[in-house]
Structure 1
């Protein structure tokens, strides 16, 4: 099943269930917000968030002051996630502060850069896990344990480490992917994985890698700032 969506290129990866606040200042995306707000009551107010693979998030002004929205400005990753509009605050300068929540993953089939002021794309919805999966349940328990160890290395507040984590394997996989200190490429690879168990396995590898790097940094016997200083004479 396919659908046509407005597309918002960003230098980040959105996952289902995660909150994404945005400050909208470009005219093309102001037009996008106005389009969503003007939809009939009960209509789905969603747009696609796609991570930028190369190029610039803010397009230069084209002829007549119109922003150039062509795919020539940016190269997009193939897989993205819809953002559902939940809250809109219109600003005095005509911009918007909005709050969105990730909803559905999709794969881009075709991009249209000319019909609207903003990009639109024909997208194919990607499957999500449904029902109980014993393997995913077992992996989720391991990911929770490793993720808590990882949080202990990057956070000093015990309350942040003991916060409740979701038991649902799919929800957990999206939360870990979005909140761990990973690169955009790492997050993008996780978003593109259709199977929850496979995503959790990949996260175990990434969390173990990141934890090992953090432990190495902590094992340095002197403050890192001192390593850049010239030695003092004895």
Structure 2
């Protein structure tokens, strides 16, 4: 099933169920928020978040700079990764100058078929919805292993973390949490978002987490502080 969807190119990867706060200052995306808020359509008000392959997000205007911001460079399908996730509006705060602070939650994945700049000021895309991920016995078996690897990784990275205070029981939700929380490259996160099923995502995450935990463990295995290694030897 395909649909036409407004899209917001960003330098981040959004996953279903994960929260994404955004500060909206560009006029074209202010218009998008206004349209979504005023839409009479029943159900979730959402737009697509797609990750930029290259280039940069629009610069944040400098409060001390009275010059108008340069027009954004055009973005085409080749500038974007082919799989994105919709962001559902959950909270909208309009600021006195017309900007918005919004809170969104990732909802459903899609693949991009075509991107265009039509009559709307923002980009739109023809998208095909990716199927919902049903939990299968393989994913159920992989989830405890992935969770254990994630705990080991977090203990090495930041022992006081509170990320896993409430562990999701659903393997798909867990796979999305790991993908969004682990310190991975954009390419790796994007690959996890595009994984065809939960089991495949969990398998990939096990390899990535074991790799990262091994690197962190080796760094911690240095016997003395690096600053001590730089000191001149004592003549005694």
TM-score between the two structures when normalised by the length of structure 2: 0.89
Q: Say if 2:77 and 2:115, in contact at 8 Å, map to a contact too.
A: no
Partner of 2:179: 177
Partner of 2:36: 36
Cα distance, 1:44 vs structure 2: 3.0
2:159 is equivalent to residue 142 of structure 1 = no
- In structure 2, the CA distance between the partners of 1:226 and 1:97, relative to structure 1 (3 Å rule), is farther
> Which stretch has the larger CA shift, 70-79 or 141-150?
70-79
SS of aligned partner of 1:40: coil
* Residue-by-residue CA offset, 1:8-65 (whole Å, 9 max, x unaligned): 11110000000000011111111111111110152431100011110121179xxx97
- TM alignment of 1:1-234, pairs within 5 A: 1-40=1-40, 42-58=42-58, 67-68=71-72, 70-71=74-75, 75-130=79-134, 132-157=135-160, 160=162, 163-225=165-227, 229=230, 231=232, 234=235
TM-score between the two structures when normalised by the length of structure 1: 0.89
Cα distance, 1:224 vs structure 2: 3.8
- In structure 2, the CA distance between the partners of 1:89 and 1:12, relative to structure 1 (3 Å rule), is same
Q: Say if 1:178 and 1:187, in contact at 8 Å, map to a contact too.
A: yes
> Which stretch has the larger CA shift, 104-113 or 42-51?
42-51
- Alpha-carbon separation, structure 1, partners of 2:226 and 2:97: 45
Cα distance, 1:161 vs structure 2: 6.7
Q: Say if 1:52 and 1:74, in contact at 8 Å, map to a contact too.
A: no
- In structure 2, the CA distance between the partners of 1:231 and 1:93, relative to structure 1 (3 Å rule), is farther
SS of aligned partner of 1:212: helix
- In structure 2, the CA distance between the partners of 1:10 and 1:65, relative to structure 1 (3 Å rule), is closer
- Alpha-carbon separation, structure 2, partners of 1:87 and 1:56: 26
Q: Say if 1:2 and 1:124, in contact at 8 Å, map to a contact too.
A: yes
Q: Say if 1:59 and 1:73, in contact at 8 Å, map to a contact too.
A: no
Cα distance, 1:194 vs structure 2: 1.5
Greater than 4 Å deviation, 4+ residue runs: none
Please, which runs of 5 or more residues in structure 1 have no aligned partner? none
> Which stretch has the larger CA shift, 72-81 or 112-121?
72-81
- In structure 2, the CA distance between the partners of 1:225 and 1:47, relative to structure 1 (3 Å rule), is farther
- Alpha-carbon separation, structure 1, partners of 2:143 and 2:190: 20
